[in-house]
């Protein structure tokens, strides 16, 4: 199924992988219980800002992202995740998501950035 949407930054029409990446970002950046009509929309990943950047926090980030994406993004089947620490910006962590779209296309490096304590 092909989804058609609007780029949140430019207002231009988007579809396919670009639309999926925007949706993943929206799900992961939205804190739980902040939407009036959809209290369960979002992820605990948004609440992890300023958490210590250690193994436990990374594991919690994986769990929060996987749970939210299974619930709110049915077009994506997550196969693996990895974390990259940005050397230029201490505390910035980029979560890379790899998987398959419902169209059968492989999805590589859908990224979500968050700030953890250095």
pLDDT at 63: 93
**CA atoms of 74 and 1, how far apart (whole Å):** 11
pLDDT above 80: residue 82:
yes
Rounded mean pLDDT, 14-41: 88
Domain ranges for the chain: 4-115
Lowest mean pLDDT among 2-6, 8-12, 55-59, 97-101: 2-6
Lowest mean pLDDT, pick from 16-25, 26-35, 106-115: 106-115
**Mean pLDDT across the chain:** 84
Q: What is the pLDDT of residue 109?
A: 67
Specify the pTM. Answer: 0.82
CATH 3.90.1170.20 given to domain 4-115:
no
Q: Are 35 and 66 in contact (CB under 8 A)?
A: no
* Contact indicator for 79, 66 with CB cutoff of 8 Å: no
More confident residue, 104 or 63: 63
**Confidence band of 25 (pLDDT split at 50, 70, 90):** confident
Residue with the two structure tokens 């620490």? 85
Average pLDDT rounded to a whole number, residues 28-39:
89
Host H or E run for residue 109: strand 106-115
């Amino acid at each position: 199924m092909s989804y058609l949407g609007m780029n949140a930054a430019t207002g231009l029409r988007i579809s396919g992988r670009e639309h999926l990446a925007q949706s993943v970002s929206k799900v992961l950046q939205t804190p739980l219980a902040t939407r009036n009509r959809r209290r369960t929309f979002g992820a605990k990943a948004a609440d992890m800002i300023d958490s210590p950047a250690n193994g436990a926090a990374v594991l919690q980030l994986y769990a929060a992202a996987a749970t939210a994406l299974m619930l709110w993004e049915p077009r994506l089947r997550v196969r693996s995740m990895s974390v990259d620490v940005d050397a230029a910006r201490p505390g910035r962590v980029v979560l890379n998501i790899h998987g398959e779209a419902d169209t059968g296309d492989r999805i590589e490096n859908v990224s979500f950035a968050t700030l953890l304590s250095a």
